[in-house]
Copies of this chain bind each other. A is one copy, B any other.
Amino acid sequence: MNEIIYKPIGIIRTPFRDREGMPIQAAAAGGVKGTIELDPEMVPGLRDLAGFSHIMLLYHFHQSRGYSLEVVPFMDTELRGVFATRAPKRPNQIGVSVVRLAAVRGNILDIEDVDMIDGTPLLDIKPYVPGIDDREGVRTGWLEGREELMRARKSDDRFG
């Protein structure tokens, strides 16, 4: 299949210089502050965004090299299929996080609950809309009963 080429629209700034000690999901990153430095050319695309309390960020796991189709996730001791995990070493290394939008100042967005490494290339911003992005009556397979652990536990360098 043909390659698809994207160009980052900005950079995500966070307190996390490397993977150690960083939260593994935005939901575990309560209150951690970061900023988005958007390409100034993209600023017209931010119109009306400030009205949303939460935004979905799509970004590139730029510090991951290569991938494995089977991985041992953070909160587990067993090998799992990579598509049944959120591990960064994926065939296409795209991350998705929902963060709180605190302010929009020109091309700078103040965000909270960040869980990315400083310098992460940003691919897209979408409004987070309940009823579009969430579901009820969900089964979570091998993660069943471990979601709390996933939200609380910090990253190690397993996926370095």
Contacts and interface: CB of A to CB of B under 8 A. Distances in A.
Interface residue tally on A, bucketed by range:
35 or more
Q: Is the interface of A mostly helix, strand, loop or mixed?
A: mixed
A55 B83 CA distance: 9
Interface string A71-107: 0000000011111111000111010101000000000
A50 to B, nearest CB: 7
A110 interface: no
Interface in A52-73: 52-56, 58, 60, 69-70
Interface of A: 1-9, 11, 25-27, 39, 42, 44-56, 58, 60, 69-70, 79-86, 90-92, 94, 96, 98, 121, 123-135, 137-144, 147-148, 150-151
Given A4-B6, A86-B129, 16 more contacts: A4-B7, A4-B121, A7-B92, A44-B70, A45-B84, A47-B84, A49-B141, A52-B84, A86-B132, A98-B133, A98-B135, A128-B138, A128-B140, A129-B140, A129-B143, A131-B147
